Amino acid sequence: MKKIYNSKICFLLLILFITSACDDYLDVESETAVSSESVFQSQDGVLFALTGVYTRLKLKGFYGTEFALIGDAATDNGKIPSDRESAGANADRMPFAYTLNLNTTNTSTLWQDAYIVINNINNILENIDNATDINEDVRSQVIAEGRILRAWAYFSLVQLYSQDFNFTADQSHPGVPIVIATGIEDQPVRNTVGEVFNFIFTEMNESISVLQNNDAIGRDNDIYFLNYFSAVAMRAKMHFYVTNYAEALADADIVISQGPYSLVENYTTSLYEARGLGDLEFIDAWAGTVIVESESIFQLYVNEDNPEEVTTNRSIIDIYTSNNGNAAHAISNDLLSLYEAGDVRTNWYKIEDVDPHVFKYPGGFGDARDDTPYSVLRLTEFILMKAECEVRVNNADNVARDLVNLITLRAGASPIASSGNALIEDIITERRKEMAFEGNRLFDLKRLQRGFTRVDCILPENCTVVYPSNLYAWPIPQDELNGNPNIRQNDGY
Amino acid sequence: MAKILLFSMLVVLLTPLVPAQDLTVSGRVSAQEDGTGLPGINVIVKGTTIGTTTDVDGNYRISQVQPNAVMIFSSIGYVSEEVEVNGRSVIDVVMVRDITALEEVVVVAFGTSQKAAVTGALESIKSEDIIRQQQANVSKAIQGLVPGLQVLDGNGQPGSAGGFLIRGIGSLEAGNGPLIVVDGAVFNGSLSQLNASDIESINVLKDASSAALYGSRAGNGVVLVTTKQGTDRETTYTINAQAGFTETLNPNDFRVMNTAEYVEYYREAIINSGQDPDDTGSGFFLPVNQEFDTDWIEEALQTGTFNKYDFTASGGNEKTSFFSSLGYFYQEGTILATDFERVNGTLNLKHQASDKFDLGGKIQVTYSSADNLISEGGRSGQFSGAFETAPTEPIFATPDLIGGPDEGAGYNFEIPSNARHNPVATAVLNSNTTETWATNNNFNLGYNFTPEIRGEALANYYFFSTTNRETIGKLYRAETDDGTAVEERITGNTFNFIGTLAYKKELENHGFGLKLGFENTRQRLNSLDVTTNNFTFPNLNAVGFGNNVVLQDIGSDFEGLSVAGFFGRVNYSFRDKLFFEGSIRRDGASNFGPDTRWGTFGAVGMSYILSEEQFIKDLSFFNHLKLRVSYGSSGNNNFGQFLWRDLYKPDVIFTTGPGPENANSGVGTLDPSNPNLRWEKNLQFDAGVDFTIFDNKVSGSLDYFRRVSQDLLFAKPLSLTTGFEEVIVNSDAEILNTGIEVSLGLFPVRNDDFVWRVDANFAFYNQEITSIPDEVVFTTNIWQEGGRSDNWYLQRYAGVDPNTGDALFLTADEVSTTDYNGDEDRVIVGQRTPDTYGGITNALEYKGISLSFMFYYSFGSDGYFNLAQDLSTDGGSFPANQWSNVLNRWQQPGDITDVPRALVNNPNGDLVSTRYLYDESFIRLQNVSLGYSLPKAITGKLGMSAISVNVTGQNLWISTDFPGYDPTSASNSNFDESYPLARTITFGVNLSF
């Protein structure tokens, strides 16, 4: 009996041994992904995570395509080419941004992509203290950059998915949910536009003061990363679009007078060999892999080689470049006719097939011809912003005229001589011409509470939009409604 | 019990003591159907251990036979004959095929079993039925041969695999493919690596009882492939050669417009839209007079060749036996510049070292090389790009075209209708090849501790290395990168170890069996890919010669999975007529978190051979009648390997300019993790009956099953504000599959000269989502309670308004409107998998001539004909060519047609509706084989044991309402134009000596 008893024990021990060995055997680590614990255990990992946030500004819904495109496509600036590259044949080129035939499935993925940026930042902010070796100054700079990028993502979201700031007197109309913590089960409600902007300005103010005296990471005013001046420029733009012109003026002044930027003095041109189209004349400052370098405050380099999830094959590359003969977006005659004969800026548009297509970002010629730089913020915008604010806040027509004529002069256009309200209108028009296809027109129209009429309009596009319009607050995607019963859809969808 | 044992021992001991006057008996054993000698028939003197087997010609010689003895002639597949010797020294025997094959041994999970003892639903396919089908991939060769195994056609690319579906779709988010086991070991390679001539049998385990020992991964069924082994006879050699040709099947003459039709149609569209086709500046210039009329599809197709050569040698003695083979296969595809080549070598060895100890092994090596389609969809493929290319375009550049004949190797690249892509140049100047080396090796040991206890161990190592090379030639002018090369290298290996201990005890009326085992599997895969472009020389297109390389063009991937499990099985039989079986298995897998990775599955089964009972015997109607019943559970972990982990993606690189110096490493969130993920579970009930009636002339089986799939993975939608779209969870979603499977075999004629045998199988299925957490709506599919998971959910097309020529659609409440909605107005209009499918084989043999033909049918599924949508844009995709059917367009008020009027910029092309949904039911003459075996008298003189010749046709005829090339090409959600099935006709010679 005793022998049997012993062998039973042996057998049990053997089973235990095999079972415990099995558990190790069943631990398989991925070799192409890294656990989040390892990411946040060091300063390097934290910085990699922050760089990942910058990369995701290039997601398709954000500056990869859609948010860069909609500001012009959805207004009287844009037009679907009338040739074969029609709405029907190119569903991936956002025909609905032109036709404004919007619904919950035909809408921008900015909603999703901006919240991916926000979630990545929230992850960093929650886990940054796990990095035991992190330098205190690096830590505060990472937090500041993260909070500013997050505020910028919220600003972009309300621009597209909410009515303008003054739509209700107390800003009680729906904004977007403010999410500052991670958690996949959360189903937040929409905050009001007022709450969102309160959050945005608090975040900006606190973070800008950190960046003012701290560059422990060593950004060194690199135009591809945030720094004190680009953060102030962002805040200027935020103030401008909530029509707080005095604050916008103050911030624009800082950017213009203290920032390391200088205006491109002359828009000179040269011939460049554009693949498939022969030699074409382009403005030198806009050709190449870095654009308007001396005045650039923040730009992105949108490249085809990014990992699939980051940009798509129909990125901005295919929208505003010439180099693969694929530019699929045209400029409306409404805008084109505003340029005087001899205005150098008409070199941004090239006839292909029938219509003038937008070639504002031709990118590098040669090796990197499929890559496109995209300007998010540049000095010119703040010159024009300051000009408009000087008239509105200080009635300083002279100052404003001098500023705006810096822009007309280098383009070879006639100087502006008007004053008062006419001057404001001329500055707005100059802004439309100079900042065309940089994603601002729709938000300027909303800021000014104006509708628009497309004269150069092909059915079935919506040719006239009258303010206030449901088309000024885009529909929230169906996927959000599927996953979050608490979300309120915008009116009209 | 002790008495019985003593008695048996006495019998065994006393037998040799009985005095004997020995005879030597010889003779020939031949087959009833054709009189040929039957090799390998067991000849035993009844009540003794004296025995032998017949040689290759069916002759035997046996000594020490007592004059009054009885000799037993037996073999798998034949009715055993008992013959009294009566002092004769020459005894010839004619054997009759036994379609009940009661003594047949079948391969089951971790071993073999008498077919009679099987309690579950399993089906066997024999070597000759597989070889008869001239297919490069074994998976396609078994289509229609088994009720309950649906072989999805896949595509017609030579060597490509057909997918398997056993007893319907039982999952929403996880895989539906069965577990594949080759010679006892889990196989992760492609079945195209196996040579059909090396296969002894394929067994399909469908129900829980037969599959339960593979418990964890058997939720979708198991396919067991067994390769040939040597026998203990003198060495035999066979040579098989098969050659022929292959061409595209186009049952309903699908075509696009020729130049005359094209010009007529589009000029009408242009004029309808208020444009002038004769105005060179309008963007719609299309003059009446055209120089060219190119049939691009005809140019993209070819008649391919088919070549298959095998050499095998097998033999051995009582201690050692071997089977070895060398095979060569080459098939040219039916599409330009596609082919498949394969070389196989196999050596199977078995060695009986002693009474107690035996060992064996297998070495199998494969090399294959395939030229695939350049692109399977869109404009840049040689086939997919041929449809839209305008017939008015020439293949070769004329001097006045930009570029001219000097550039781009002389091809025309000024093709606006196809974004400059030239399908012929695509095939000639670009390439897409896959080369694979693979080796699959087994080593196994067996040890008989006692006559009742046997231990076995099997170690398997599978390794493969695949290189994919895709190049776009420097001279291919539709691309602007001066040539692109992509090279991807994948290496992977699987290690599988199985150890078992079996106990068997036979008593007079009772049989017991017990098997305990341990198994582990470790799978790894690594890949590296590099993309470069800008080449200096047109002919040097390897990745190393590209002048432009950036960091992001180098990628790597990894897959890893480990599974370990313990299992046990108990068998009990009573008087060889009542059988019970129970099994249990506990498995852990690395794709679950530590708390949820172990799952336990089990099954019970019972079978009862009623024909052994007197009251059935009295009916003298049933030769054999057996009832089976089984119930059990099995699992499914056929999904993502790291879904439970909280992971970051490492290569979120932030580029700030061209070149590696501007690449900044970044990381970003990947998918939301679910540490609670666990096994999907299938509960299956099966009841079946096997029977043979009318003097062994009719046999068959009937099975009913009910399969409930639970704990199904479900993509739960999240608020996008979390940064994620969805998370994979085990939900309370549940799918019910039920079905009936029938197989029948009968002999309408069976006499000495002529045998006609018919085998048929039918399967009828139904599937239902019985529970789902939320309704999920896809573009063309909806998951909701009470519905199927594979439905079509589309807005209905209602033809054309006779007054205006506009397309009409039905709203959900049956109102006809021109206002396409495509969202709320969608309704369920069909399903993607068939209600019933099956095969019918007729085999006729007359003297040395054999003829067999097999039909395969599939009814009840619908296919979305995506190509038709691409090619029916009603003018909207000018100048792309269109389906000839569009010529039936509306032209003037009063026209009754279902094709709307032609307009350029017509938005119809984007409107997904039932306009392109077709019934894809079909019946196909899948195989016809005519053979002739030379009489032994002639082969003997030539020194051969057998010579036969054959003519075989594959997919000779098909009948379907589906208008495209191939009804199976549209069946799923794959929106690309797939490679159509081919018709293949071959001639073959088989020699053995």
According to the model, what pLDDT value does residue B550 have? 67
According to the model, what pLDDT value does residue B959 have? 93
Same topology between domain A39-218+466-483 and domain A261-300+317-324+332-360+375-447? yes
Q: Which residues contact A12 (CB under 8 A, 6 or more apart)?
A: none
The domains of chain A are located at: 39-218+466-483, 261-300+317-324+332-360+375-447
Whole-angstrom distance, CA of residue B76 vs CA of residue B94: 15
A277 pLDDT band, cuts 50/70/90, is low
ipTM for the predicted complex:
0.91
Whole-angstrom distance, CA of residue B786 vs CA of residue B772: 9
Whole-angstrom distance, CA of residue B993 vs CA of residue B991: 7
For residue B722, give the nearest of A183, A289, A310 by CB distance: A183
What does the pLDDT average to over A122-134? 94
According to the model, what pLDDT value does residue B176 have? 82
Indicate the angle between helix axes A397-411 and A379-394, nearest 10 degrees.
Answer: 150
Q: Nearest-CA distance from A186 to chain B in Å?
A: 7
| A window 374-433, beta carbon within 8 A of B | none
Do residue A53 and residue B666 have CB atoms under 8 angstroms apart? yes
A310 contacts in B (CB within 8 Å)?
652
Do residue B552 and residue A306 have CB atoms under 8 angstroms apart? yes
User: Which among B522, B226, B452 is positioned nearest to B360, based on CA atoms?
Assistant: B226
More confident residue, A323 or B269: B269
B781: three-class secondary structure by DSSP: coil
According to the model, what pLDDT value does residue A325 have? 45
Whole-angstrom distance, CA of residue B111 vs CA of residue B115: 12
Long-range contacts: B56-60, Cβ < 8 Å, 24+?
B56/B233, B56/B234, B56/B236, B56/B945, B56/B992, B57/B28, B57/B936, B57/B940, B57/B945, B58/B28, B58/B29, B58/B30, B59/B26, B59/B27, B59/B28, B59/B29, B60/B26, B60/B27, B60/B28, B60/B29
User: Which among B782, B970, B748, B770 is positioned nearest to B858, based on CA atoms?
Assistant: B970
Do residue A33 and residue B657 have CB atoms under 8 angstroms apart? no
| Overall fold of domain A39-218+466-483 | 1.25.40
Q: What are the pLDDT digits (tens) for B751-768?
A: 878 889 999 999 999 999
β-bridge partners, B768: B736
More confident residue, A379 or B128: A379
A303 contacts in B (CB within 8 Å)?
552, 655, 658
A31 contacts in B (CB within 8 Å)?
526, 556, 558, 560
Q: Specify whether the CB–CB gap between B362 and B322 falls below 8 A.
A: no
Could you please report the per-residue DSSP string of B857-925? EEES-EEE-HHHHHT--TTTTTTS--BGGGGGB--STT---SBPPP-TT-GGGG--BGGGEEE--EEEE
Whole-angstrom distance, CA of residue B879 vs CA of residue B103: 68
B642 contacts in A (CB within 8 Å)?
30, 33
A313 contacts in B (CB within 8 Å)?
none
Do residue B668 and residue A49 have CB atoms under 8 angstroms apart? yes
User: Which among B214, B241, B394, B270 is positioned nearest to B330, based on CA atoms?
Assistant: B241
Whole-angstrom distance, CA of residue A244 vs CA of residue A242: 6
Cα diameter, chain B: 113
According to the model, what pLDDT value does residue B139 have? 83
Helix (H) or strand (E) holding A37: helix A36-39
| Overall fold of domain B17-95 | Immunoglobulin-like (2.60.40)
B282 contacts in A (CB within 8 Å)?
354
According to the model, what pLDDT value does residue B103 have? 52
Do residue A184 and residue B672 have CB atoms under 8 angstroms apart? yes
Whole-angstrom distance, CA of residue B2 vs CA of residue B305: 69
Q: Nearest-CA distance from A331 to chain B in Å?
A: 17
- From the candidates A55, A103, A375, A488, which should be mutated to test the interface with B, based on the most B CB atoms within 10 A? A55
According to the model, what pLDDT value does residue B977 have? 59
User: Which among B408, B432, B433, B436 is positioned nearest to B421, based on CA atoms?
Assistant: B408
Whole-angstrom distance, CA of residue B106 vs CA of residue B165: 22
A89 pLDDT band, cuts 50/70/90, is very low
Owner of token pair 């921008």: A108
- From the candidates B407, B497, B528, B652, which should be mutated to test the interface with A, based on the most A CB atoms within 10 A? B652
Owner of token pair 């080396």: B437
A118 contacts in B (CB within 8 Å)?
721, 723
CA-based nearest residue in chain A for residue B656 = A301
According to the model, what pLDDT value does residue B360 have? 94
Neighbours of A363 (CB within 10 A): 30
A449 touching B, CB under 8 A?
Answer: no
Say how many residues make up chain B.
993
According to the model, what pLDDT value does residue A322 have? 43
Do residue A88 and residue B656 have CB atoms under 8 angstroms apart? no
Torsion sign, CA atoms B978, B981, B986, B992: positive
According to the model, what pLDDT value does residue B58 have? 85
Does the N-terminal peptide bond of residue A460 adopt cis geometry, omega within 30 degrees of 0? yes
Residue A175: pLDDT over 90: yes
User: Which among A168, A62, A179 is positioned nearest to A114, based on CA atoms?
Assistant: A62
A460 contacts in B (CB within 8 Å)?
907
Long-range contacts: A216-220, Cβ < 8 Å, 24+?
A216/A135, A216/A137, A216/A138, A216/A140, A216/A141, A217/A47, A217/A138, A217/A141, A217/A142
B76: three-class secondary structure by DSSP: coil
User: Which among A145, A156, A124, A120 is positioned nearest to A227, based on CA atoms?
Assistant: A145
Q: Using DSSP bridges, classify how beta strands B179-182 and B222-227 pair: parallel, antiparallel or unpaired.
A: parallel
Q: Using DSSP bridges, classify how beta strands B93-95 and B23-31 pair: parallel, antiparallel or unpaired.
A: parallel
Tokens of A69: 């495109």
**Residue type present at position A384:** L
Interior angle at CA A389, CA A383 and CA A391, nearest 5: 110
**Residue type present at position B94:** V
Interior angle at CA A458, CA A457 and CA A461, nearest 5: 85
Residues of chain B with pLDDT under 50: 1-20, 100-102, 971-975
What does the pLDDT average to over A206-211? 96
According to the model, what pLDDT value does residue A311 have? 43
Neighbours of B707 (CB within 10 A): 26
Indicate the angle between helix axes A379-394 and A245-258, nearest 10 degrees.
Answer: 140
Do residue B590 and residue A27 have CB atoms under 8 angstroms apart? yes
A180 touching B, CB under 8 A?
Answer: no
CA-based nearest residue in chain A for residue B721 = A115
A36 touching B, CB under 8 A?
Answer: yes
| Domain A261-300+317-324+332-360+375-447 CATH assignment equals 3.40.50.300 | no
Q: What are the pLDDT digits (tens) for A5-59?
A: 555 555 555 555 555 555 678 888 888 888 888 899 999 999 999 999 999 998 8
A310 pLDDT band, cuts 50/70/90, is very low
The domains of chain B are located at: 17-95, 105-227
Q: Specify whether the CB–CB gap between B948 and B905 falls below 8 A.
A: no
Q: Nearest-CA distance from B886 to chain A in Å?
A: 18
Do residue A86 and residue B905 have CB atoms under 8 angstroms apart? yes
Q: Specify whether the CB–CB gap between B680 and B729 falls below 8 A.
A: no
CA-based nearest residue in chain B for residue A90 = B910
- From the candidates B551, B655, B719, which should be mutated to test the interface with A, based on the most A CB atoms within 10 A? B719
A483 contacts in B (CB within 8 Å)?
716-720, 725-726
The number of helix segments (H) and strand segments (E) in chain A equals 17, 11
Selecting from 3.20.20.450, 1.10.540.10, 2.60.40.420, 2.170.130.10, what CATH number does the domain B105-227 have?
Answer: 2.170.130.10
Torsion sign, CA atoms B949, B930, B760, B956: positive
According to the model, what pLDDT value does residue B10 have? 41
More confident residue, B693 or A386: A386
Tokens of A228: 């004190």
Tokens of B962: 């589906």
Residue A343: pLDDT over 70: yes
Neighbours of B559 (CB within 10 A): 19
User: Which among B499, B705, B481 is positioned nearest to A324, based on CA atoms?
Assistant: B481
Q: Nearest-CA distance from B904 to chain A in Å?
A: 8
Residue A493: pLDDT over 80: yes
What does the pLDDT average to over A206-232? 93
